[in-house]
Amino acid sequence: MRSLIVEKGPGPVEDEPDALVKGWLQREMRGCMKTPWIRPRKYWFVLTPDSLDYYSSNEKGARRLGSLVLTSLCSVLWPDKQLYKETGYWSVTVFGRKHCYRLYTEHLNEAVRWVCAVQKVIDSKAPVQTPTQLLMRDVEEHRDSPEILEQIYRCNPILRYTSGPLYAPLLPFPYGSLDQS
């Protein structure tokens, strides 16, 4: 005989082995613009060793709505007491390469837990090196060999004057606004 109990579907996402921190947070949907207060929407967030993802719910098979890949250039801002006084929410801002997530929670300890966990993931990442830094390292390593140096300069126009614009940064800079921390 079959069971009369109807299964609700697969179990919750909470069984993920890679998840470092997970929980309900609210996210401002307009990004990081300085706009008047907009009530954020509630999403299920999961922090893994590589990214910060958010889902429509905490059930297994829930649709992933977004992901912020974390590198050593990402940054996270601590909760702001002034914003809490104005809105009643503690704000955590995570800056990535193309996006930033402004997350809200009603409890300071939860905000601090997320900030510490995200910062720990960022700190665990290897430093990002730009192509220019790699070329500078090659030049430094071959400074005693003029033939190899000449070949490096000839093959890489970025190392000499060009009239064209630069389309990529020469050195890595952290994402986001660190002057607020």
Domains of the chain: 21-124 (2.30.29.30), 129-160 (no CATH)
pTM of the model: 0.70
Read out DSSP for 95-135? E-SS-EEEEEES-HHHHHHHHHHHHHHHHHSPPP--HHHHH
Whole-number pLDDT of residue 97: 84
Tell me the C-alpha distance between 2 and 26, whole Å: 41
Euclidean distance between CA atoms 45 and 48, whole angstroms: 10
Give the pLDDT confidence of 71-108 residue by residue, as tens digits.
998 999 999 898 899 888 999 999 998 888 999 999 99
* pLDDT surpassing 70 at residue 172: yes
Residue type, 158: I
CA distance 54 to 37: 21
Tokens of 25: 């947070």
Give the model's pLDDT for residue 38: 61
